[in-house]
A and B are shown apart, each in its own frame.
Chain A
């Protein structure tokens, strides 16, 4: 009765552009990167120094009260080394880590540079949880969170 047909497909691409307002607090944090400073905000209730800076505490729902400049060195909390290519994301390999900077109570995410990622065991060892890293800053800041990264200390 029915004759088999080749399945048909419809191809589409979503090509959408957005211009997100980042708000006063994030904007000031990003401006600080050009001055090689990492800024947090203190919560008056739990007294945590929240990095990256946020206008309210995600735990207490309280407005943060003051700016705190934290150190540009700290400890690795977690990391990964990416070897797989994902469409629309950078070419591998690259390393990412969350590090708690000295003086901060929460961790900041960033790329980790200055490692030979083709030597996986050695890269993994140098990024072990608890190891020290320092923050490096771009000489040509773009005003985004890509203006800093971590390097093994």
Chain B
């Protein structure tokens, strides 16, 4: 199996809407930024993987058709990947598989998102529950994570201020990231005073609906060596899948708790085992983890093994995980809480992790970072993906 390098990454700024480009033109921006960063052209690309979340979010059926030229994919192998919020990272993992197998040397992953054009993402996302049993109940991605947050509060004694501190940290980070969507610093009091969406989740605990594009170029070790290139390296990948039924993630016989991210922890363990990470908190400098609501970041930090279950709130309150602290820095980009271009959010996690381990993250750089973990979550906390990155193949081991 070939080692897989990340030769280049690209992201547009994330904003509410773009009226100056069509969707394929937006996707092309992500592709070109990634190719430019990699120092290659479309001609060098062997195959393309396209992350695209539900069709209804962009209002175009099979939007991958529309974007083939924007991705330079005509005449090449091409696949679309959709795993809800994990779509971007699942696409990266599909591209990783293409390269690791030895089939291709250079694979482009690029896509775009413009959620705001749907007017109401939640009326689209409400359609993902069981048509007989759950659809008559107005579940959506906010309420399903509010349910999870309530369980986390109950199990670990957390409160709304603990959630608010996640937003405060991430907004402080996003203020240093010129690409981030929400960059205004906020206080705990601001978050607590923001309007309730679905208790305990308030507006200040929620991600924006972002428009933007992102891409990455993955290459084989053979290609990197032949061309004298220094990519960042994907050292481990880990995925896991949770049952469809939220009601089976609670109760006396549950295996994984909807309030914790137990199934995600398995995905992290798989990536760590592959990468040789035995002490995540000691070995990983950066975590770019998918958490579209503040409450989610707490249990993902725990699932990633950066602290014990229920310990994230206290660690955050004492200043850990924030830029300038010792130990692993969590979401130095501001994370998904500050920018959520759904289809490419997982690509953005890889992009940010890559910039960090290569020391190219500008004002949001974690000093001396050489290793990172990235993760994404899709469906209804159902599809989990994670990656471990390092600057050199010699790091970690």
Contact = CB atoms under 8 A, between A and B. Distances in A.
A1 interface: no
A7 B20 contact: yes
Given A58-B245, A105-B252, A109-B134, A86 B122 contact: yes
B348 to A, nearest CB: 25
A51 B134 CA distance: 12
Interface in B230-266: 243-248, 250-253, 255, 258-259
A69 B264 CA distance: 34
Nearest to B138: A89
A82 interface: yes
A123 B342 CA distance: 33
B259 A105 contact: no
B150 A80 contact: yes
B116 interface: no
B19 A30 contact: no
B197 interface: yes
Q: Please report whether the interface of chain A is mostly helix, strand, loop or mixed according to DSSP.
A: loop
A153 interface: no
B385 to A, nearest CB: 21
Given A14-B56, A79-B147, A105-B252, A86 B140 contact: yes
A129 B245 contact: no
B97 interface: no
A63 interface: no
B195 interface: yes
Contacts of B119: 87
A52 interface: yes
A83 B197 contact: yes
Interface string A27-55: 00110000000000000001010111000
Q: Give me the 10 closest cross-chain CB pairs, A-B, nearest first.
A: A80-B146, A107-B247, A7-B19, A87-B120, A88-B123, A26-B132, A77-B250, A129-B154, A78-B147, A22-B132
Interface of A: 7, 9, 12, 14, 20, 22-23, 26, 29-30, 46, 48, 50-52, 58-59, 77-84, 86-90, 94, 96, 98, 100, 104-111, 120, 124, 128-130, 144-146
